Amino acid sequence: MGLGLRLLPLLLLAVAALSPLVLAASSGGQEVYPCSQCHAYIAVSGQSRANEFHGIDLAEGAHAGLYCSNCHQAPQVDLLVGDVNISIPGLHPRDSLMGLNRVCASCHADIYADYRVHAHGNQTYLCNDGVAEMVEGYKGVGYWFHLCPEYVDLKVAPARACVECHNPHAPTMLAPSILPGPSDRPSPPDESGIALGGVVAVFVGLALILWTAPLKEVEQP
């Protein structure tokens, strides 16, 4: 630990040259992974709660009050509490992201319990030898298309890991964009033709009456 702390400035010098390039794209994604690109270890002291390079500031957001060390187990770079390794949404498969739920569970036991019984977060279903593909569908909705050999004996499971909805460093969930407005039933077929026909019929009828009326009068005497 002591050694690590002393070595850190050296390390920082080494990465400082690199940092402007990566800064723009920092915080999440390909650029910061694997961590060993730049660090062999991290040395988060009990006091660090912000990091400019990684664009993380725990003074803001719902996790204000936490320190890096609440979740990151220094000195290993990619080890988190609950003994899980870092995996990043978009970069790693969902299975390994699910492992990170244990990090959150260590403090949010109640919500985690809700999540386990499918009362927090959304759920999906699984079938034997089936796959679920995300397709863009009606009005741009992202829709899971399930392809199962047989649609029986389905099992419910959480659809997403905690970190897919909550950024661990600023956990209040951001709302996704909204989709276009609702449709209404189609307008009824064009009836102006029918109306025209009605008007014509009325006129023809009137004309007939007028035409036959004098005839009747003639007949009467």
Q: Does 94 bind another protein (CB under 8 A)?
A: no
Q: What is the spatial distance between Cα 80 and Cα 66, in angstroms, rounded to a whole number? A: 14
Among 64, 173, 196, 213, binds another protein (CB under 8 A): 173
C-beta separation of 125 from 156 below 8 A: yes
Region binding ligand HEC by CB under 6 A among candidate stretches 65-73, 139-147, 179-187, 206-214? 65-73
Buried/exposed 18-50: b ≥16 CB within 10 Å, e otherwise: eeeeeeeebebeeebeeeeebbebbbbeeebbe
Identity of the residue, 113 or 213, whose beta carbon is nearer to another protein in the bound complex: 113
193 is in the binding site of which of another protein, ligand HEC, none (Cβ under 5 to 8 A by kind)?
none
C-alpha triplet 160, 166, 172: angle, nearest 5°: 140
d(CA 173, CA 165): 6
Give the residue, chosen from 112, 125, 130, 154, that forms a contact with ligand HEC under the rule CB under 6 A.
112
Binding to another protein by CB under 8 A, coded x per residue (else -) over 58-77, reads: ----x---------------
- Shortest distance, CB of residue 13 to ligand HEC, whole angstroms? 10
